Amino acid sequence: MPIHMLVKKYAIHSDKTVFILGLNTCVSLAASTNYTEPDEPLFLDIPVRRVLNQTNGLGLVEPWASRYVASIHERRFGDALWARYHIFGEVTNGTIGDTTLTVLGSIEEDAIEYKANAPEDFAHALSIYANTSSDDTHTEILDLLSKINLKDVTHLQERATFGISCSRPQDGRQQTAVTAKFV
């Protein structure tokens, strides 16, 4: 459903969501007392108000932008995650970009990285997703995240750090060395 139809749907059918037309006829979401957007910066990292503001320059594609907004509002977090990974139009025949990585595979890779490097944020995201609607059609994503939460990923916290050092030998030439160190 296009964003302008989504606005009409929520403006007509919901007294809990308030939409305000801006000066440039851009639509932004105003917080209501009964709805707050999930504070989840890992997977649902694009604020709804930026999606609804069609002049934001993000290059979002339909129907995924509208599905992302609707899924968040309806607390269908598996559907919101699915839409988020499609929202830039980079998925073709089930794979992302020029890779062979599927959407589910990409979500899994990201989840493992988040669990290893941002465990508190990952746990917080899972606590939000625990309250997903029974109307969610992509609960397999939430199941995948729950399985990853049970994995030991401490060995993945090692990462390479790179440094550059410059020196001047006696002949006046500058030499540059790139070093890699695992921490």
Query: To the nearest 5 percent, what fractions of the chain are helix, strand and coil?
Result: 45, 15, 40
The predicted-structure confidence for 148-162, as pLDDT tens digits, reads as follows 999 888 776 655 455
What is the pLDDT at residue 162? 57
What is the pLDDT at residue 30? 36
* Residues of the chain predicted below pLDDT 70: 1-36, 54-56, 156-183
What is the pLDDT at residue 176? 58
What is the pLDDT at residue 14? 34
Instruction: Look at residues 132, 163, 155, 105 and name the one whose alpha carbon lies nearest to residue 44.
Output: 132
